[in-house]
Amino acid sequence: MTEWTILGAGALGCVMAGLLRQRGERVGFMLSARHRGHFHPSLDLITLGGRHELIQSRPRFPEQARQVECLLVFTKAYQVVDALKGLQELPTSTPIILFHNGLGVAEQVQELFPHNPLIAGVSSHGAMKEGDWLVRHTGKGDTWLGPMNQAANDWAHLVKPLAAALGHAEWRENIKLHQHRKLALNAVINPLTACHNIRNGQLLEPRFADVLEQLSEEVFQVMVNLGETESRDAFRRRLQQVIELTAVNYSSMHQDLAHGRSTENDYITGYILAHAGAQPVPVSSQLYREIKRRGG
């Protein structure tokens, strides 16, 4: 049985660890130097039903990289490359699965680890961090994996244990489609909620109707330019559904900006701007600049 090593003990990484452990899978957390010598506590997972469950996992440190059998990366997009640089002893046979928000990082990871199987992961599970080693699973979702290089094609079997733990996991050769669809949602919800300091559900208030429509149209058109075949109406329905399902949540960009942390602005809205071509994207541009101005 494979041990899943999780790099990035944020909300989603911790929830994934909890769900895997509940199915009897072996799980370890790759920890940074600041955790060395500290007591490694149990993870307190608040389930969808509101129960607290203590989840046991193994602490791992960079010098143990050779022992990593499968690496799931849940760090912020801007942290991925630096975090992986400390794992140069990772076996070339170890698959690396990237679950970060936004796009534009996989190419850099491929340069760092040219021989490792590189897999993209996309998940719509809801998760919220409520304290150190305390996370809440806020919603079930779909999970998709797909190859980013040739070596990854031998690892499609990983979806079977993931599906058992998460409720859904599928392998998709065209993983870029799922990446683009998740990015499109993030490019609407994240910057708007961050700039206006609101929960996701507040975007459906009448005062945001105009800007929500304009931004949605900008993002949709960029996605069409990138090969998206989803209709405008289908995208709008999907966006509304996600906003409603995550109504009480704060987006990750909102939380990063509110706590003075760097955001994934460059990998979400920045990706939209970089692929807009000649298409005008004034709302996206304004939101991008505003988040930069506030330190994100």
Active-site amino acid positions:
182
142 exposure class (CB count in 10 Å sphere: 0-12, 13-18, 19+): middle
Three-state DSSP class for residue 105: coil
* Distant-in-sequence, close-in-space partners of 206: CB < 8 Å, separation ≥ 6: none
SS3 of 84-100: HHCCCCCCCCCCEEECC
Q: Nearest-CA neighbor of 29 among 44, 11, 13, 7?
A: 7
For residue 77, how far is the Cα from the chain centroid? 8
Cβ atoms < 10 Å from Cβ of 155: 17
Distance in Å from the first CA to the final CA of the chain: 41
Cα–Cα distances in angstroms (integers) from residue 176 to residues 123, 181, 182, 271, in the given order: 13, 9, 10, 14
Alpha helices by DSSP H, listed for 113-208, are: 159-166, 175-196
**Cβ-Cβ contacts under 8 Å for 150 (sequence gap 6 or more):** none
Looking only at the bridges linking them, the beta strands covering 43-46 and 52-55 are antiparallel
136 forms beta bridges with: 46, 128
Contact between 218 and 164 (Cβ < 8 Å): no
DSSP classification of residue 208: G
Q: How many residues does the chain have?
A: 296
